[in-house]
């Protein structure tokens, strides 16, 4: 705007002269500039309108891909929806690459959102955390989805879609009992989707906390990151959150380190999405999300969720981690940490 303002004719200095001629001169000088200004202004409006339409269409397509089949669920009344009531999710990440890790969930988080405060609490759960709750055999946290999916397909003969819903239901019940909250929804993103989202945003800036060098020809892993603050592309961001150890065993990374990195990357993605620089890239992000996420949530509720929390930033999100003690091959939950994160989630659900 400063360039446009400076290009406008200067205001009159107050010197007297022939009124008609002065007015005529000003008119001649101002019209071309005014025309250029208005063409530019309306051009921007049209561009913005086109962007809104494109994003709306892409959002619609993405939501149709992500959401439940509307014929399989009862519509949620507005007064019971995410717009009016706090809601809790289980967020899972899975390695679906050709040489990936099968059905084990390498990333698991429980998130609670409050529509009144427009704030959230996100708790990262180490994948090796040993979880034992009533009604379920104790096992690592990352096994609950996989085990229940296999039972649903192998023993019950369910389709992949039905088995996915049943496995998500089991994870919601387990995590709901662990934190003593009602978890209503579960979503799954594969690693390729995570990488695509970061690329669609043009990368994210994080602090790589150590030298990360690891190669595994069996699954195609090739991590090579130098320490320091830097902008990571999609594949690099994925390497950052997945890194466990170096080939020589010198630079080790615990589940707790990975949880911290996951929270850091999630915060960076959120901030990039709501920044001015991220706005023109929303269409690409939506396409990446739509192809790589599934959720047991109705289309209308996803739309309401986007409308309610579209402006949320990392400063509005409390990132916590469920801590524990490593005793091979499991992480055993620390009682004090468990009490802390449970209270934080419950508080968010009650605000």
Q: For 95-113, what is the HEC assignment?
A: CCCCCCCCCCEEEEEEEEE
pLDDT of res. 3: 43
Tell me: do 103 and 39 sit in the same domain. no
Q: Is residue 3 part of a domain?
A: no
Tell me: do 146 and 73 sit in the same domain. yes
Tell me: do 43 and 120 sit in the same domain. no
Q: Is residue 185 part of a domain?
A: yes
Q: Is residue 85 part of a domain?
A: yes
Structure tokens at 68: 């439940």
pLDDT at residue 13 tops 50: no
Contact 74, 306 (CB under 8 A): no
Tell me: do 78 and 42 sit in the same domain. no
Mean pLDDT computed over 267-272: 86
Q: Is residue 178 part of a domain?
A: yes
Mean pLDDT computed over 118-132: 94
How far is the C-alpha of 241 from the C-alpha of 283, rounded, in Å?
25
Q: Is residue 57 part of a domain?
A: yes
Angle at 51 between CA 49 and CA 56, to 5 degrees: 95
Beta strand 293-295 with 317-321 is unpaired
Structure tokens at 250: 């010198």
Tell me: do 191 and 60 sit in the same domain. no
pLDDT of res. 72: 58
pLDDT bracket for residue 192 (50, 70, 90): confident
Give the number of other CB atoms < 10 A from CB of residue 190.
19
- Indicate the residue among 10, 30, 65 that finishes a domain: 65
Give me the half-sphere count of Cα atoms (radius 13 Å) on the Cβ side of residue 324.
23
Q: Is residue 2 part of a domain?
A: no
Tell me: do 208 and 312 sit in the same domain. yes
- Provide the mean pLDDT of the chain: 81
Tell me: do 122 and 241 sit in the same domain. yes
Q: Is residue 79 part of a domain?
A: yes
Q: Is residue 4 part of a domain?
A: no
pLDDT of res. 94: 86
Residue scoring higher pLDDT (304 or 284):
304
How far is the C-alpha of 142 from the C-alpha of 144, rounded, in Å?
6
Q: Which domain covers residue 56, as residue numbers?
A: 18-65
Contact 163, 153 (CB under 8 A): yes
Mean pLDDT computed over 123-138: 94
Tell me: do 264 and 118 sit in the same domain. yes
Check which CATH number belongs to the domain holding 126 and give it. 3.40.630.190
pLDDT digits (tens, 9 = 90+) for 69-96: 655 567 889 999 999 999 999 999 887 6
- Which phi and psi (to 5°) does residue 216 adopt? -140, 105
Quote the number of domains for the chain: 2
Residue 149 backbone zone (phi > 0: left; psi -120 to 50: alpha; other: beta): alpha
Segment of 23-27, 233-237, 282-286 carrying the highest mean pLDDT: 233-237
Contact 268, 44 (CB under 8 A): no
Tell me: do 105 and 52 sit in the same domain. no
Tell me: do 249 and 230 sit in the same domain. yes
How far is the C-alpha of 195 from the C-alpha of 193, rounded, in Å?
5
Tell me: do 342 and 204 sit in the same domain. yes
- State the angle between helix axes of 234-242 and 255-274 in degrees (0 to 180), rounded to the nearest 10: 150
Share of the chain above pLDDT 70, in %: 73
**Residue 140: strand pairing partners:** 130
Nearest of 330, 317, 198, 310 to residue 263 by alpha carbon: 317
Contact 283, 196 (CB under 8 A): no
pLDDT at residue 122 tops 90: yes
Tell me: do 46 and 77 sit in the same domain. no
Nearest of 290, 260, 325 to residue 124 by alpha carbon: 260
pLDDT bracket for residue 302 (50, 70, 90): confident
Residue 49 three-state SS? helix
């Amino acid at each position: 705007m400063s360039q446009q303002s400076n290009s406008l004719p200067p205001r009159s200095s107050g010197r007297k002269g022939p009124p008609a001629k002065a007015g005529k001169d000003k008119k001649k000088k101002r019209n071309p500039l005014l025309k250029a200004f208005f063409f530019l202004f309306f051009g921007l409006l049209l561009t913005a309108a086109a962007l809104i339409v494109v994003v709306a269409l892409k959002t619609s397509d993405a939501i149709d891909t992500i959401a439940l089949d509307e014929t399989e669920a009862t519509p949620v009344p507005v007064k019971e929806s995410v717009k009016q009531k706090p809601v809790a999710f289980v967020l899972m990440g899975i390695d679906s690459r050709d040489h990936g890790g099968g059905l084990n969930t390498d990333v698991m988080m429980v998130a609670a959102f409050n529509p009144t405060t427009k704030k959230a609490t996100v708790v990262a759960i180490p994948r090796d955390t040993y979880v034992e709750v009533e009604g379920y055999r104790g096992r690592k946290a990352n096994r609950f989805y996989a085990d229940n999916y296999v039972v649903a397909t192998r023993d019950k003969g369910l389709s992949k879609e039905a088995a996915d819903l049943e496995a998500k239901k089991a994870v919601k019940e387990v995590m709901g009992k662990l934190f003593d909250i009602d978890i209503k929804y579960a979503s799954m993103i594969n690693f390729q989707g995570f990488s695509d989202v970061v690329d669609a945003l043009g990368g994210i800036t994080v602090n790589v906390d150590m030298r990360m060098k690891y190669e595994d020809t069996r699954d195609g892993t090739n991590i090579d990151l130098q320490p320091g603050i830097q902008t990571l592309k999609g594949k690099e961001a994925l390497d950052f959150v997945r890194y466990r150890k170096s080939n020589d065993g010198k630079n080790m990374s615990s589940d707790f380190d990975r949880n911290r990195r996951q929270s850091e990357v999630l915060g960076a993605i959120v901030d990039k999405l709501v920044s001015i620089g991220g706005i023109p890239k929303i269409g690409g992000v939506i396409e990446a999300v739509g192809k790589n996420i599934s959720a047991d949530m109705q289309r209308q509720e996803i739309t309401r969720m986007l409308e309610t929390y579209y402006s949320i930033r990392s400063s509005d999100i409390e990132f916590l981690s469920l801590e524990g003690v490593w005793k091979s091959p499991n992480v055993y939950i620390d009682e004090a940490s468990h009490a802390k994160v449970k209270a934080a989630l419950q508080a968010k659900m009650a605000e």
